[in-house]
Amino acid sequence: MRSFSLLSILLLCLAIVLVDITTFYWLQSITTFISSPILKKAIQVLFWVFTVGLITAIIVLKTTLDDINPKRKHLLISSLYGLTVSSFIPKIIFVIIVSLLFFTRTLIPEKVSVIMVPVIGLFSGFLPFFVIVYAIFKAAYHFKVYHHNISFDQLPKSFHGLKIVHISDLHIGGFNYQYKILGRAVKLINKLKPDIIFFTGDLVNNYAWELRGWETVLDKLVANMGKFAVLGNHDYGDYSEWDTTEEKEENLNTIKQFYKKIDFTLLLNQSRIIENNHEQIALIGVENWGKPPFKQYGDLETSLKNVSTIPFKILLSHDPTHWSEQVIDKTDIALTLSGHTHGLQLGFNYKKLKWSPIKYKYKHWAGLYKHNKQYLHVNRGLGWLGFPGRIGMRPEISSIELSSSGF
C-alpha cells in the first residue's frame, strides 16, 4: 500500500462505501423473505460492522505503514488485500445481477420472479465469494506439473532426452514460513527426476529476511547436472525504501548468498557450459531485463561472449519481453525460459486453450511459444504477489524434455 497515495486510498474506501450502500439496498429486498426480525437485524448490523471495520483497517494501515515492522507489513497488506477482494468483487457481481433481474422483471412471470430474484441474487454473490476463498486457501498452493516435449535440430545427440524442470516467481515471503507447503512442490519436482533445474527469478518479494529457514526446504531439490538461477525484478529491492545504499546492497548480497546455501549457480550476465560425452550445450543467465518502468540490469551481449561458438544455447531471463526484444532473429539462442507474469494469477486453462487478462499487457505470458526455430517458455510461477490466491491459474512446475531431431 506504500505505492498508493492517501487520496487513492480514500477513493478506494469511497468506492467500497458506494458499492456497499447499493448492495445493502438490494439485500434488504431479499431479507424481507426472512421471518425472524432478530435474524434480519443481525444480518444488517453484521453487514455494516464488516464494512466499517474493513475501511478502518485500510486507512489505519495506510497511515501507520511506515511504523510497521517490515516482517509483519507484507502479511498484513496481503491479508487485507485478500479480504478486500473477497468482499468487493462478489458485491459488485451481486449488484449487477440483481439490478438486471429487477429491471427486466416485467419479462418474467411475477410468481417466478418472486422466487428467482432472491435466489439468483444470493447465488450471484455467494458463488464468487466461495471462488475467491477457494483461490486463497486452496488453489494458491495447488501445484500443477505442465509437461512439454521440444525437438531441436542443433541439440547434440548426447543430450537427447534431457529433462529440465523450470520454476519461477517463488515470492517466498508469501508462504509465511509454511515450510511444509513448499515442501510438497519440492517433492513433486524431485519425482520428475530432472537433469537440470532452472529458476527464473523473483525468489523474494523484496527482503532477504523472507528467506529465513527456507534453505532446509530448497536444498532438497535434486538435479544430476546442476541447478541454475537468475534474479527477477523483485530480488533487487527496488520496490522498498532503504535508509542507505549500503543497506540495499547488503539485502541483495544476502539473497545472492542464499543461492549458494541451496546449491544453485546464480548466473549474473554469465554463462556456463554443460558437457556430456564430449558434446556441449551453453546455459546463459541474464540479470533482469524488462521494458520501463522495469529496470534493465541484463546484458545479453556480455553473457554470450564465452559461448558464442556453442550451437545449442538455453537462456534464463526473468521477463518474457526480453525474448521478443533482444533474442529472436538477433541471436541463435534455441530456448529461452522466463516467468514474471504469473498468468496474472487469474485466467482459464484447459488443454491447449488458455486465456488471461494479462495477455493484453504481455504477448507471451504463459506456456510455450515458437518463432521459427526458437522457443520461449513462460512459467506461471510457484508463488503469488498482491492478491494472495489464484483463480484458474494454478502455481506451475514445468517439466520440459528436449529431444534431438537426429534421432
pLDDT, tens digit, for every residue of 172-214?
999 989 999 999 999 999 999 999 999 999 999 999 999 999 9
Distances (CA, A) of 245 to 149, 283, 335: 45, 32, 36
Task: Label residue 114 by pLDDT band (50, 70, 90).
Answer: low
pLDDT tens digits for range 140-159:
999 999 999 999 999 999 99
Considering the domain architecture, whether residues 118 and 103 belong to the same structural domain is answered as yes
Residue 365 φ/ψ, nearest 5 degrees: -130, -15
Q: What mean pLDDT, rounded, does the chain reach?
A: 88
Q: Is residue 211 part of a domain?
A: yes
Considering the domain architecture, whether residues 399 and 324 belong to the same structural domain is answered as yes
pLDDT for res 220 = 98
pLDDT tens digits for range 349-403:
888 889 999 999 999 999 999 999 999 999 999 999 988 899 999 999 999 999 9
385, three cell numbers: 504477489
Q: Are 319 and 233 in contact (CB under 8 A)?
A: yes
Full residue range of the structural domain in which residue 365 is found = 144-404
Considering the domain architecture, whether residues 127 and 229 belong to the same structural domain is answered as no
Residue 213 CB: number of other CB atoms within 10 A? 8
Considering the domain architecture, whether residues 129 and 244 belong to the same structural domain is answered as no
How many Å apart are CA 358 and CA 346, to the nearest integer? 8
Q: Is residue 1 part of a domain?
A: no
Q: Is residue 376 part of a domain?
A: yes
Q: Are 199 and 165 in contact (CB under 8 A)?
A: no
Distances (CA, A) of 254 to 204, 221, 230, 341, 373: 11, 20, 15, 25, 39
Q: Are 339 and 202 in contact (CB under 8 A)?
A: yes
Considering the domain architecture, whether residues 208 and 120 belong to the same structural domain is answered as no
Considering the domain architecture, whether residues 162 and 125 belong to the same structural domain is answered as no
Which of 137, 158, 178 marks a domain boundary?
137
Considering the domain architecture, whether residues 183 and 117 belong to the same structural domain is answered as no
Please say if the pLDDT value at position 312 is more than 90.
yes
Considering the domain architecture, whether residues 89 and 228 belong to the same structural domain is answered as no
Greater confidence (30 vs 305) lies with: 305
Residue 150: its H or E element: strand 144-152
32, three cell numbers: 424481507
Considering the domain architecture, whether residues 381 and 318 belong to the same structural domain is answered as yes
pLDDT tens digits for range 97-108:
877 777 776 555
pLDDT for res 1 = 41
Considering the domain architecture, whether residues 84 and 157 belong to the same structural domain is answered as no
Greater confidence (34 vs 168) lies with: 168
pLDDT for res 345 = 95
pLDDT for res 103 = 73
